[in-house]
Amino acid sequence: MNTENILTSLSVMGKGMLGIFIVTGVIILSVIALNKITSPKRKIAKKENDDNENADNDKPE
């Protein structure tokens, strides 16, 4: 068994695994960024609408 070939193959394997982790991290970060950019602002708008409706209901007719 040639130990030089084993060390060379481990180096190549390490670079490949590092590349996989980097690409996975980029994909995760891009998904998080896209979710934050495109998320609807319904919760805030709904709360404001509910507050406006409650204020209208409190007024005497």
pLDDT tens, 43-52?
A: 655 666 666 6
pLDDT, mean of residues 30-53:
77
Q: What percent helix, strand, coil does the chain show, rounded to 5?
A: 85, 0, 15
Quick check: is 11 in a domain?
A: no
Domain count, the chain: 1
Mean pLDDT score, 14-25: 98
Whether 22 has a pLDDT exceeding 90, the answer reads yes
State the Cα–Cα distance between residues 12 and 22, nearest whole angstrom: 15
Residue 32 maps to a domain: yes
Which structural domain, as residue segments, surrounds residue 56?
20-61
Q: Note whether residue 3 is domain-resident.
A: no
Q: Which residues of 11-47 are buried (b: 16+ CB within 10 A; e: fewer)?
A: eeeeeeeeeeeeeeeeeeeeeeeeeeeeeeeeeeeee
The per-residue pLDDT for 52 is 65
